[in-house]
């Protein structure tokens, strides 16, 4: 048996044993007490009956008759004179009986009294009834009854109790074993499942559990296993993507370096190749920088230091920064933002969000289009919209564009220097600000990113 069921079982067992022991003891004592009480009062009544007969006619005949009546029973009658000397006895008077008779109180009420009730120690229980004729004590009727009868009765009772206790004990053990199984079996299953999870086997299946705390625990373990499985897959995919992303520029660099090193390459070609090598290494270092950034975001080791920022000058500065690149691509960039609009953001980190989105808008749009950045306050939230008239994103790709390394058109975006990491960084940064980001797009009409803070 495992430990927890043993513990619960023992605890149950102990509690029930104590309860049952106490109630059995009480019941046992009660029964004995009432049985002894019955015997005692029956004895006293019998004595009183003899006394009544004697009070009606105190004669030799009557006395003999009473003695004869008692001679064949397990009770014994002794009649004494007022001074205590024995007048008649139905059987032999033992020393113990004499001692009991001596213990009679001086005054005995007419309804009689119990003289000995210690059925455990004494050989007899005893009662006394005074015979009063003409308001004078004419004698005493002592009644004795051997305690053997009570002892037999009680030993019979004890045997019944023992049998009942044994039976209930067996029954109890069976129930406890069954109950602890019901309670602990799911726990054992879960512990086995968690052990398997920690060994890397994430395909846990737990049996259907009841809707209670144990059921909740089981559900939590299942969710945990699923999450771990997802994380593991994600990590594997991520590592595969990283090595792929790193390999491509490295292949270019190595290939062009090889050609450039050849003696027969003229200096014009050499310059060309060096230019390509330079471009590729710029891409590579950008990729490494982004990866590093993502790792920091994942670890939560970066801190967002929010400040109250006035948005109009903030966005004006950012747009001034990117304007030359847009001008070069013959694109117009417009800002709609009213004065005195504030938001609590980390200015440096949020600038990266906007720069990434504007960079995408520029990369994926054609010349002679415009990009609109509009900032509003709606229901206490700041709404930032970045809208372009570019090539758009196909609907099937929309749900995935925030994923790492996800690019819609792999070959084209690579030539534009995209790594597929930009939007996943944007999303993480916006969420770190407590905000949300959404995208809507229609191919060849344009894309809109909405940030709510």
- Which positions touch ligand ADP (CB under 6 A)? 360-361, 364, 388, 390-393, 401, 406-409, 413, 418-424, 447
Tell me the closest approach of the beta carbon of residue 348 to ligand ADP, in angstroms.
Answer: 19
Of residues 28 and 286, the one with the C-beta less far from ligand ADP: 286
Of residues 247 and 338, the one with the C-beta less far from ligand ADP: 247
Tell me the closest approach of the beta carbon of residue 401 to ligand ADP, in angstroms.
Answer: 4
Tell me the closest approach of the beta carbon of residue 361 to ligand ADP, in angstroms.
Answer: 5
Of residues 226 and 438, the one with the C-beta less far from ligand ADP: 438
Tell me the closest approach of the beta carbon of residue 423 to ligand ADP, in angstroms.
Answer: 3
Task: Output the CA–CA distances (angstroms, integers) from residue 234 to 55, 106, 230, 404, in the order listed.
Answer: 110, 103, 6, 10
Tell me the closest approach of the beta carbon of residue 398 to ligand ADP, in angstroms.
Answer: 9
Q: Which residues pair with 188 in a beta bridge?
A: none
Tell me the closest approach of the beta carbon of residue 412 to ligand ADP, in angstroms.
Answer: 8
CA distance 131 to 230: 102
How remote is the C-alpha of 408 from its chain's centroid? 45
* Cα-based angle 171, 172, 176 (whole degrees, multiple of 5): 120
Q: Please answer whether residues 361 and 373 qualify as being in contact, where contact means their C-beta atoms are separated by less than 8 angstroms.
A: no
On the 0-12 / 13-18 / 19+ scale of CB atoms within 10 A, 397 is middle
Tell me the closest approach of the beta carbon of residue 192 to ligand ADP, in angstroms.
Answer: 42
Of residues 9 and 420, the one with the C-beta less far from ligand ADP: 420
Q: Please answer whether residues 438 and 450 qualify as being in contact, where contact means their C-beta atoms are separated by less than 8 angstroms.
A: yes
Rounded-to-10 torsion of CA 197, 180, 208, 199: 10
Of residues 273 and 449, the one with the C-beta less far from ligand ADP: 449
* Cα-based angle 226, 232, 237 (whole degrees, multiple of 5): 125
Of residues 13 and 406, the one with the C-beta less far from ligand ADP: 406
Instruction: List the one residue out of 412, 435, 252, 243 whose CA is nearest residue 353.
Output: 435
Of residues 150 and 430, the one with the C-beta less far from ligand ADP: 430
Chain residue at closest Cβ approach to ligand ADP: 418
């Amino acid at each position: 048996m495992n430990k927890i069921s043993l513990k619960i079982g023992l605890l149950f067992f102990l509690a029930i044993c104590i309860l049952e022991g106490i109630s059995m003891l009480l019941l046992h004592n009660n029964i004995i007490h009432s049985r002894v009480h019955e015997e005692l009062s029956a004895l006293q009544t019998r004595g009183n009956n003899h006394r009544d007969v004697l009070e009606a006619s105190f004669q030799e005949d009557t006395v003999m008759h009473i003695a004869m009546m008692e001679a064949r029973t397990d009770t014994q009658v002794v009649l004494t004179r007022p001074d205590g000397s024995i007048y008649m006895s139905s059987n032999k008077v033992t020393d113990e009986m004499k001692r009991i008779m001596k213990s009679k109180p001086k005054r005995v009420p007419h309804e009689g009294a119990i003289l000995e009730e210690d059925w455990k120690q004494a050989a007899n229980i005893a009662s006394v009834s005074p015979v009063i004729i003409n308001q004078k004590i004419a004698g005493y009727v002592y009644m004795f009854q051997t305690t053997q009868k009570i002892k037999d009765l009680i030993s019979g009772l004890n045997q019944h109790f023992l049998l009942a206790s044994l039976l209930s004990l067996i029954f109890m053990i069976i129930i406890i074993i069954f109950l602890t199984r019901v309670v602990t079996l799911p726990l054992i299953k879960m512990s086995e499942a968690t052990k398997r999870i920690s060994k890397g086997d994430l395909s846990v299946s737990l049996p259907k559990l009841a809707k209670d705390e144990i059921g909740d625990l089981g559900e939590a373990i299942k969710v945990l296993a699923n999450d771990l499985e997802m994380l593991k897959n994600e990590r594997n995919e991520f590592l595969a993507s990283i090595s792929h992303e790193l390999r491509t520029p490295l292949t270019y660099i190595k290939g062009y370096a090889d050609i450039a090193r050849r003696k027969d390459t003229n200096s014009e070609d050499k310059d060309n190749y060096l230019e390509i090598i330079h471009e590729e290494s710029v891409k590579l270092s950008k990729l490494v920088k982004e990866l590093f950034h993502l790792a920091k975001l994942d670890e939560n080791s970066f801190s967002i230091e929010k400040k109250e920022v006035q948005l109009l000058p903030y966005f004006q500065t950012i747009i001034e920064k990117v304007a030359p690149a847009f001008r070069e691509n013959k694109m117009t960039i417009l800002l709609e933002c009213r004065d005195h609009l504030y938001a609590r953001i980390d200015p440096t980190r949020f600038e990266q969000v906007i720069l990434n989105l504007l960079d995408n808008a520029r990369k994926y749009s054609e010349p002679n289009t415009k990009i609109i950045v509009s900032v509003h306050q709606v229901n206490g939230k700041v709404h930032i919209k970045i809208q372009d008239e570019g090539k758009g994103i196909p609907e099937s790709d929309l749900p995935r564009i925030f994923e790492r390394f996800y690019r819609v058109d792999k070959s084209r975006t690579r030539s534009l220097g995209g790594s597929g990491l930009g939007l996943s960084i944007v999303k993480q940064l916006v969420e770190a600000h407590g905000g949300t980001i959404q995208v809507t797009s229609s191919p060849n009409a344009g894309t809109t990113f909405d940030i709510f803070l």
